[in-house]
Structure 1
Amino acid sequence: MKNAPPRIAIVWRGDREARRAATPQNNRFHRIFEELAAVGLAPEPAVFNEEFADDVLEQLLAVDAVLVWVNPLDNGKTRKILDPLLRKAAEAGRFVSAHPDVILKMGVKEVLYETRHIGWGVDTRLYRTAADLRRAFVPTFLAAGPRVLKQNRGNGGQGIWKVELVGAPAGGATSISVLEAKSGSIVPETIELFDFISRCEAYFTEGGCIVDQPFQSRLPEGMIRCYMSEGRVVGFGHQLIKALVTPPPGSGSQPLQPGPRTMHPASAEPFRALKQKMEEEWTPEMMSALNIEEMALPIIWDADFLYGPPDASGNDTYVLCEINVSSVFAIPDEAPAEIARAMASRLRRSAMRL
């Protein structure tokens, strides 16, 4: 049909039954379906699983654009099969957000190193091999105090460790305390430093790396998630997190539970300075540093910030601890409409280029 509305495939992970039964209404993305339809687009479910990857590819090649919500790690499954499908769809002229190549620039921990010169950066180191980690991390750690080591790709706090010195090196051994950020990590583990480094060797497989940042002492004050649609802030979420927070003595064997994430609109006064920084300075500087064009920015992404030391005037500073691109959800109430607006605008701009 000549005047048929553009088709938008919304991709998430599921099994065959989930794919068969999926409708625009019976999933957590229903608001996004509604808002896309409201701006004249035709969204459709595209449930993905490795078992029927060819069926998903056939569907993606028949639509105009693709929005993807699939974690990089999910119960042992990765995006090793999905990403080549998305690249094929993009090569065939379909707009894909987020494109796997953009994820490899923005949605990995290495971005913390590549953008360390931006105002959100701190003393950030990068290790590409276990030998690098042994040689360079040890003197930094012993001199600089508690650090946080992060594997390059992951989610849910997997492979993110707070590392703290327990006792001065004695007899060639250095005792450290380590605590992983993933859910269920309860109390720090005491381990010898080089034994821990050996444990981290798995993070270097398949071109992986480890990023090293100083531990932020204001972590108990919470994390601010800045939600972005392309280069615009579309809302904030503030949460008192418990990951990497050492439980108080006598707290027992139960893991500390994070507080609820409180959502705020983009206009929220407490985050006015952060919004201005993100839109006017930090996002353009990130695009320049990573060589990302405006048309390649994800339709939805977020930047997670911790509070840094107050500046000379007593104002809050912010330290980037992660960018999420692969599967950004939950989102503020205002975000679905912004996603739809951005998608409609992106398709119009693409059509004008033809």
Structure 2
Amino acid sequence: MGSGASKGLAAATSAASPEELKKALEAMSEEDRKKVGEALKSSGGNKAFPGPVDCSSVTVIAKDYNGLNEQPAEPKFKGALCQIYVRSQPYGGSDKSSNGHRYDSIPFANGMISAGMSCQLIHYTHEEHDKFFDLCKKFDFLIVRCNPGQIKADGGDQGKFDNPMREVRKAGIQAWPSPDVMEKMGAKDALCKVATMNCGLEDTLAYYSEEDFGAGFKKTMAFQPRVIKQNRGSSGEGIWIIKLKAGNYCATFGERSCENDEVLTLMEANDNHEEEHTVGEFIEFCVNGCNDKSGTWTSKGVGKYLEGGKAAGGQIVDQRFCPRIVEGELRYNQIGDAVVGIPQEAKGGRYLGSWRHWLHLHLLRPGRAQV
């Protein structure tokens, strides 16, 4: 089709009403309708997986790619940003925008593109596990933005995802962050390793069994308001700010333990919703999820934070709530053992940033900094 014919077709399409276009499509043969569909898929800013690598082997999850810069014609390196869309949750998870991408995915990709590299946005689905990792082998680097816990929430298995990602790295393809870094630095029990340092809190505990959690939480809860965190994740789900409704805290740690029937006020950090439950109900929810014993919950999560045991990442971290978090917080960014930036979180709502680690270490050279 020549340029004149293309312009004529575009003008006719622009002048037609939606009903006229519908009738025109209905009058087409199946083969012609297929051509139109393929043309729509491969044109404009909403082209599926825009970039130099053919990603048609996996399902398109994203609704659009609006805001994504044009990929370089001859990229220095070919990269992909890997995401997970939780199909049972609104928008695919609380870290997602309405387009199906994480809020920061397109800015991440645009940063790579600005540096002369291509960066295509792809989604992992456990049904297409093998196809996904075959596709990963076509790239020079991978930016992994699959929030811990979300692969499992979508019906997949984190371990099954991590192992081939390790193999990809062994093949010389960079993957950031690596599964090993996520396991060692992403796990929230890292907070316990600094508990006795002058920057830590001595009543920071990690639980790996129902018995330890039941006994430990009753003791810490009687002492100070708490932040209870499931193992990993940065979306705030399973991270609770908890206070005794009666406010009857003891003066020293270990002086008393809560009873099962004491009432708690809880706020979950992913959406700031509030609930009231007894100590016994909260422990049951964290261990076994929603059932008759744990009562009715409005949380988007399902509890069961110890499921699978320590080997599968089942753990709970119990830390004292720091009320001055509403004044803002500092993040220390490091490369190796050198501090390269100290950005400050802006002041905000009641619990701004209270579910985040008070210290964020971004280690580009693992092994240099000691936590």
Identify the TM-score tier after normalising by the shorter chain: 0.5 to 0.7
- Counterpart position of 2:307: 205
5+ residue gaps, structure 2, are 1-74, 87-100, 249-255, 288-303, 366-371
d(CA) in 1 for partners of 2:258 and 2:144?
A: 52
Matches within 5 A, 1:36-51: 36-37=115-116, 42-50=117-125, 51=127
Higher relative contact order (CA 8 A, sep 6+): 1
* Conservation of the 8 A alpha-carbon contact between 1:163 and 1:178: yes
* Alpha-carbon shift at residue 118 of structure 1 (Å): 4.3
* Conservation of the 8 A alpha-carbon contact between 2:334 and 2:361: no
* Conservation of the 8 A alpha-carbon contact between 2:329 and 2:358: no
* Alpha-carbon shift at residue 119 of structure 1 (Å): 4.4
Matches within 5 A, 1:123-134: 123=202, 124-134=204-214
* Conservation of the 8 A alpha-carbon contact between 2:82 and 2:121: yes
5+ residue gaps, structure 1, are 16-21, 246-257, 259-303, 307-318, 326-338, 347-354
Instruction: Give the secondary structure class of the aligned counterpart of 1:196.
Output: helix
* Alpha-carbon shift at residue 60 of structure 1 (Å): 2.5
More moved, 193-202 vs 223-232: 223-232
Instruction: Give the secondary structure class of the aligned counterpart of 2:277.
Output: strand
Aligned to 1:185, which of 264, 267, 272?
272
Say yes or no: does 1:64 pair with 2:140.
yes
* Conservation of the 8 A alpha-carbon contact between 1:112 and 1:321: no
Identify if the C-alpha distance between structure 1 residues 145 and 174 changes in structure 2 by more than 3 Å, giving closer, same or farther: farther
d(CA) in 2 for partners of 1:194 and 1:14?
A: 33
* Alpha-carbon shift at residue 44 of structure 1 (Å): 3.3
* Conservation of the 8 A alpha-carbon contact between 2:242 and 2:265: yes
Identify if the C-alpha distance between structure 1 residues 34 and 138 changes in structure 2 by more than 3 Å, giving closer, same or farther: same
- Counterpart position of 1:32: 111
- Counterpart position of 2:11: none
- Counterpart position of 2:240: 161
* Alpha-carbon shift at residue 55 of structure 1 (Å): 3.2
* Alpha-carbon shift at residue 115 of structure 1 (Å): 3.1
Identify if the C-alpha distance between structure 1 residues 233 and 31 changes in structure 2 by more than 3 Å, giving closer, same or farther: farther
Summarize deviations over 1:11-67 as a string: whole Å, max 9, x none: 33469xxxxxx9xxx933343223431xxxx43315122143333322332333322
Instruction: Give the secondary structure class of the aligned counterpart of 1:218.
Output: helix
Which residue identity does 1:242 align to in structure 2?
Answer: G
Q: How many residues align?
A: 241
- Counterpart position of 2:322: 216
d(CA) in 2 for partners of 1:126 and 1:79?
A: 23
TM-score (norm 1): 0.57
* Conservation of the 8 A alpha-carbon contact between 1:108 and 1:152: yes
Matches within 5 A, 1:83-98: 83-98=162-177
- Counterpart position of 1:54: 130
* Conservation of the 8 A alpha-carbon contact between 1:108 and 1:323: no
> Higher strand fraction: Structure 1 or Structure 2?
1
| Higher Rg of the two aligned structures | 2
